[in-house]
Amino acid sequence: MRYRSAMNTVTLDEIDRGLVHALQIDGRAPLRTIAEVLEVSENTVARRYRRLRSTGTLRVTGAVNGARLGYVAWTMRLVATPDAASSIANALAARDDTSWIYLLSGGTEICCNTQVRTAADRDDLLLRKLPRTARVTSVSAHELVHTFALPGGWAGLHALPEEKAARLRPPPPADDDAPLELEPGDQALFDLLAVDGRATYTELAARTGWSDATVKRRMAALRHHGVLTYHLDVRLEQLGFASQTRLWMAVSPSGLEEVGHALASHPETSFVVATTGATNLTAMINCRSGGDLYRYLTRRVAPLTAIRTLETAPVIRTVKRTGSPLPR
C-alpha cells in the first residue's frame, strides 16, 4: 500500500501497519515484544521503525496526563490576522502546557488544547498573555468536561487482531486517589520524552542526572499512577488521510450522551469531547478525501438529530500534537 505526500512517499505493508498499531497501544513496548507479536525478527521491526521515524511518518512521545495531577483541560479557539496566526501558533506550541495545536480554515484560526495547573495559570494565559497582542482578534475558551474518545484509541490505525493487541496492552493506571508528587528532576525527564518517548534510560539519566536504575524506577512509578503517558505522533497525511477536520457542535443536553457515544464509535473520529460554551461538543475527523468527509457528514452525522448546529474547520497545518513542536 503506497501513500504519497508533498514530503515523502511512504509504503506500508502488513508488518508496518502492525508496528504502527503496536506503538499506538504501547509507545514504549520493547521491539522484541513487538517482533514476537508480529512474528518477525527483532531486526526487521527495528529497521521498519527507523524508516518510519526517519521519514517523519511517526514518532513516540511522552506526555503528562494532567488529569491525574488535578490539572484542568481547556480547548481554545483564537482568530488572528493573516500575518500573525502562524507565529502565534508557534509561540503557543513552545509552551509545555499546550498540545494539539492546529491552524484551521483559511489559516487565520488557531485551535489549541492546554492543561492549567491552577486558576491563576488559566487567568494568566487567557486574560493577560493572549489579549496583549492586537493581532488576536477573538478568543474563546472551553473547559473539557467529559471525554468520549481520545487519539490514543483511534481505530483508523488498528491493524492487529484483538488477541495480538492484548499481548501489547500495558496494565491500566492504578485506580486510587493517592496523589503523586512531582520531583525536581521530573521536568527534565518530561522534556526529553516530549521529543522522543523511546529515549533510552541512559539518555534520560544523562538529562536528569539520575542513575539508569533511578530513571527506570521513576518512569515506572509515573506510569503506574497514570501521570506519564505515551502517544503515537503520526503524520496522518503520509498515511493517506488527506482531510482532517475539526467539528464544533451545539447539541441539545438531552442528546449529548447519545451523540457523543455515537461519534466516538465512528472509525473516522479520533477525538470527541464535551465542553462548556455555546458549542458543547467538539470532535476531530480524519478522512482520506473531501468526498469522504462529505459522505461522513451527510450519512453518519446528519441522522444525529440532537445536533442543532454544526461548524466544520479543516486543518491547514498541524503545529503540535502531544510532544514537542513539530518541525516545519
CA–CA dist 248, 246 (Å, integer): 7
Residue 110 inside a domain? The answer is no
The pLDDT score that the predictor gives to residue 4 is 41
* Domains: count for the chain: 1
DSSP string, 122-184: HHIIIIIIGGGSTTEEEEEEEEEEEEEE-GGG-GGG--S-HHHHHHHPPPPPP---------T
The pLDDT, as a whole number, for residue 131 is 55
Count Cα atoms within 13 angstroms, Cβ side, for 305: 0
Q: Is 283 a domain residue? A: no
Residue 128 lies in a domain: no
Residue 158 CB contacts under 8 Å (≥ 6 apart), including other chains: 21, 24, 165
- 3-state DSSP assignment of residue 117: coil
Percent helix, strand and coil across the chain, each to the nearest 5:
40, 30, 30
Helices 186-195 and 212-224: angle between axes, nearest 10 degrees: 80
Tens digit of each residue's pLDDT (9 = 90 or more) over 38-82: 999 999 999 999 999 999 899 999 999 988 888 999 999 999 998
pLDDT at 3: 41
Backbone angles phi, psi at 183, to 5 degrees: -105, 160
C-alpha grid cell, residue 56: 517523519
Inside any domain, residue 87 = no
pLDDT of residue 179: 67
Find the CATH number of the domain harbouring 184.
1.10.10.10
pLDDT at 100: 93
Q: Is residue 39 part of a domain?
A: yes
Helix (H) or strand (E) holding 227: none
Residue 194 falls within a domain, yes or no? yes
> What pLDDT, on the 0 to 100 scale, is given for residue 328?
59
Below-70 pLDDT ranges, the chain? 1-10, 126-133, 177-179, 326-328
Domain containing 56 equals 2-62+159-204+229-234
Phi, psi of 255 (to 5 degrees): -110, 5
In a domain? residue 222 = no
